[in-house]
Structure 1
């Protein structure tokens, strides 16, 4: 191989592959559960140690609960710490872990935590076992050494391999005997663990069966979702108001069950400053979350509550009364920015990713090629954060001389076009790795509302939007009202929008009745946004849908993941604008200029008059 060839391969890869220094500038929920390019265990290892010590204390009953606040400026690796916690737990299995992102509806913060905690426990460890399965198997294992050990011996023996236990139950029990089997099993377990609720334990045992229908019904019950078949598996039904009250109780039950298995429960709260202020109480997102954490702290044991905040957000919490800061920040630890050595290591990690993705041999290149270590250290010495360093590296990576003797001319780039390109790079990268929140009406509505405010002055193809009103969240109420002018029909419009993924007929009916009350909201048209069709056996629901479409000039718009995903990305960048290298005004203007919302099919369907 000639001296030139490795550099020619590098140059070819640089042109074809994404710039490694623009990727994953912000950790999303996907990366918390998955993989990250720049995980540097030595960065903030003092916090990793503190959390490991807290797990050990709870496990050995030296403490019953712990509140840990991780404080640090943007770009100091707080979310990376959470990622490492889960990675370690998924390998060692000494505790169970949940990740709670920002809440869209502050009035339902408890339900939000319950929903995402339940969702978190569906994630699997390195053996392919979900955290729910681990809990259910642990409950069965408590029968060891009791009068029931002989009866359930074959089940107990398989508790250390929950997937084998699942197969055994499915093979031994028929569809007809399964319910009776679980009823008797619950009663046996509760003889020695009487502080666990009967219905809760029954639902947990169903989760051993993973994807079977009864397991899915039980999972919906635990999450606080609605389901028409709760009675079928003998689980009690609760109203929407009761669900909010029951949420902390459900978390309490989870902590009790985990305690039996000596598995501390970690609940990690992240991105507290990305949510919405409560319009009634005036509480900031941080204050709303802190109050929820405080409730859990008071009512639950066997729990570690971890809260990631920037310094300004911690000041808000610190000023709260009633001893809340003392519990939320029972242990206050500070995330430190990387030192010069760690900065160099972070650059190496990104370069190694680039080599691996492009099948390049790192030994063919000088250390840190195409950079000079002295220059990286110089950037680090100027008190630059990780994001500043990554930005510098990204620019240098694009223009560095790769093939010896080849001169790279730096083209003059218009600052506006450069900003636009940087935004589009972030936008396209996030599109590949972000998920659409499923069955979270309030979150989906918040995303649509945020995006509606980024429609340019000239509007969409048909509608000029003049105002977007976010409704104060109440049960079954509209989510937003859009005021504008219909250029095709030459008239003013006021569109009421409600997102409803309801799986319960009564809830759907309540939503539709609000949406049909044009007089109350002063709207000219109602719009229901929903991903699934209304079941044919919902007689009243279909009548109300027909009234909306055929009598009141409204419409039902089908929500698809493909059309929703770009809106999720835009809202994510907007809410965390500073971390992505912009401010919120810049994001709004860029989205308007690029017509990313104005030309989105879902947005256009909501705004356009029904055919």
Structure 2
């Protein structure tokens, strides 16, 4: 296969000048554990990750109950790559399967007097993350349990995948409810025929995670939180009022029950990270590292004496001094339980070598160039391999190496155009070429808000005329200001900003709320504020939301929408990808203006011709039509069909679960 041709050096140098991939690259956060992650050097500290996977195989396959719980202590100085290592383990498990993953960032444990209760929340939250089968780890467990229930009825019953069960669960549950039968009661009864010593409520809550409508409430209950009584009644779960101390007292039993069930199907890897963090000490004066060490000991001893099918591996990450001066001297066998697999010898992570720094920089630069469809003169450009190897002799941490790369990722010659407008055009072109993914997804709601706010700010002082794409008119519309919405304590950010201006001589104050949320409660929270014109001092409310994101007629927000449009003169402006993308690109140029040697005034002035013609901004400013397009609202008939699917036939046998796999 021929190598692709080298890209024009001007394009490569421009990309280098406009974005530095190494900025803040050495700081790893919890979202890097669960998210996409970052380029990983597999050879760096490979012995450590290999040891962890060997421990997983031990607990999975050993017939001895003494081997079903093991532990490893991992030590390293700041920046060497402790969290990088955990990210590697997590992402390999996500790709290949083989174990469930639980990440406990100890800096989140704000009350060490409630450490067991906080770990129960950690356990529930981590198992809510996506596993190797493309669904929540909870749902993988629930699917395995449901399939066991099916086999208890009929040994020849087909095995359904977690996604198949999630797709069918609510439909079947609604059908059974319509016939005054309980799908959940039947499922739990069948499963308890195979495992009678399981806590029936925890079993029930895990099975509820298969429900798209009830999973969030089930996860809340599993984490130890109290539910609204109406939600607890639907789930059939106890919901007594408890103090935090009550929940702390019960947490260990709940943790044991959950891990017993979960580990029956797959080993569980539990990672306690950053135990050196200086949280507030307990009431009896114990610091964080000793509290976590004691928790690991308790978990080890409690779980070792319970029924663990595939086992548990506990990783505890700390500084070398923490191990030597604090943890290793704890009496009573605690150090042995924290580093059981390696016989009380922690795994110490090593700094970079000359080879590993070259590999590290190559990976970061490959991603940088690939996302821009550029082929550099050599993989390390603008660095030289000899330069990196020489620097690598200093026994650098990963963080130090990436910081050095950030400071030295530059070229000597100035290749940006001299004319500011040409630099703006170049910047806008580069931002337009970037792949943003699905930027209409609700996780990008704040990006859409920022882009819209910036667009309106560029229009300040301009007068707009003409028609919008939907036929509405703009008559001497002038934007005078873009402000925050007061009172902030009441708004809580739901109305994102207010556009103030005049149409001819009539003052308008448009409250703009971008609501790309999928959950009806979130949409409703924004909508009921958008219709309170008096409290938030607006003359018109504007919902910005994709047409495809339907608003169901049984949501409270549907009633709010009717009031907004038909009574208060507000509107729903449809969010279109091509219209918001240009505003996102302009906002990105503004955000990165210093990289393109532009100032704030230049970016705003150069953006005005584009924002003045932007269809989305013009639609928000125009007079509303006063109508709701019914095609965008999910109708009662469709909702009824979903909740009571006619394709499901009645059955006389209340214990027959064949509907789930037919």
Does the 8 A contact of 1:186 with 1:202 survive in 2? yes
Residues in 2 aligned to 1:20 and 1:124: alpha-carbon distance in whole angstroms: 27
- 1:289 and 2:292 matched: yes
Residues in 1 aligned to 2:331 and 2:180: alpha-carbon distance in whole angstroms: 51
Correspondence for 2:192 among 186, 190, 193 = 190
For normalisation by structure 2, the TM-score amounts to 0.56
Say if 1:92 and 1:399 are closer, same or farther in 2 by CA, change over 3 A: closer
Structure 2 match to 1:217? 217
RMSD (Å) for aligned C-alpha atoms:
3.0
Residue 126 of structure 1: CA displacement? 5.0
Residues in 2 aligned to 1:35 and 1:400: alpha-carbon distance in whole angstroms: 33
Show CA shifts across 1:422-460 (max 9, x none).
xxxxxxxxxx9xxx9xxxxxxxxxxxxxxxxxxxxxxxx
Does the 8 A contact of 2:25 with 2:399 survive in 1? no
Structure 2 match to 1:15? 17
Residue correspondence of structure 1 range 476-495 to structure 2 within 5 A: none
Residue 392 of structure 1: CA displacement? 2.2
Residues in 2 aligned to 1:113 and 1:4: alpha-carbon distance in whole angstroms: 52
Show CA shifts across 1:107-127 (max 9, x none).
111111111221111111354
Correspondence for 2:280 among 277, 280, 303 = 277
- 1:338 and 2:352 matched: yes
Structure 2 match to 1:303? 312
Residues in 1 aligned to 2:369 and 2:83: alpha-carbon distance in whole angstroms: 25
Residue 402 of structure 1: CA displacement? 7.9
Structure 2 match to 1:322? 332
Show CA shifts across 1:139-183 (max 9, x none).
12334664x226xx65xx243x11112223333332626972211
Residue 97 of structure 1: CA displacement? 0.8
Say if 1:282 and 1:178 are closer, same or farther in 2 by CA, change over 3 A: farther
Does the 8 A contact of 2:48 with 2:349 survive in 1? yes
Structure 2 match to 1:207? 209
Structure 2 match to 1:121? 127
What SS does the corresponding residue of 1:307 show, helix, strand or coil? Answer: strand
Residues in 2 aligned to 1:84 and 1:106: alpha-carbon distance in whole angstroms: 29
Structure 2 match to 1:484? none
Q: Unpaired runs of 5+ in structure 2?
A: 416-438, 444-520, 526-662
Residues in 2 aligned to 1:44 and 1:178: alpha-carbon distance in whole angstroms: 58
Residue 217 of structure 1: CA displacement? 2.2
What SS does the corresponding residue of 1:182 show, helix, strand or coil? Answer: helix
What SS does the corresponding residue of 2:271 show, helix, strand or coil? Answer: strand
- 1:253 and 2:232 matched: no
Correspondence for 1:390 among 402, 405, 416 = 402
Correspondence for 1:68 among 57, 68, 72 = 72
Residue correspondence of structure 1 range 494-505 to structure 2 within 5 A: none
Residue correspondence of structure 1 range 24-173 to structure 2 within 5 A: 24-62=25-63, 63-102=67-106, 103-143=109-149, 146=152, 148-149=153-154, 157-159=158-160, 161-173=161-173
Does the 8 A contact of 2:33 with 2:87 survive in 1? yes
Structure 2 match to 1:371? 383
What SS does the corresponding residue of 2:196 show, helix, strand or coil? Answer: coil
Say if 1:179 and 1:97 are closer, same or farther in 2 by CA, change over 3 A: farther
What SS does the corresponding residue of 1:67 show, helix, strand or coil? Answer: strand
- 1:350 and 2:364 matched: yes
Residues in 2 aligned to 1:280 and 1:191: alpha-carbon distance in whole angstroms: 45
Say if 1:387 and 1:90 are closer, same or farther in 2 by CA, change over 3 A: closer
> Which has the greater radius of gyration?
2
Q: Unpaired runs of 5+ in structure 1?
A: 404-431, 437-530, 536-611
Say if 1:399 and 1:284 are closer, same or farther in 2 by CA, change over 3 A: farther
Does the 8 A contact of 1:69 with 1:333 survive in 2? yes
Correspondence for 2:374 among 339, 360, 380 = 360
Residues in 2 aligned to 1:36 and 1:136: alpha-carbon distance in whole angstroms: 27
Structure 2 match to 1:181? 183
Residue 275 of structure 1: CA displacement? 4.3
Which moved further from structure 2: 177-186 or 112-121? 177-186
Structure 2 match to 1:574? none
Residues in 1 aligned to 2:166 and 2:374: alpha-carbon distance in whole angstroms: 44
List, as ranges, runs of 4+ consecutive aligned residues in structure 1 with deviation greater than 4 Å: 399-403
Residue 296 of structure 1: CA displacement? 1.2
Which moved further from structure 2: 170-179 or 4-13? 170-179
Which moved further from structure 2: 249-258 or 128-137? 249-258
Q: Give the number of equivalent residue pairs.
A: 399
Does the 8 A contact of 2:13 with 2:411 survive in 1? no
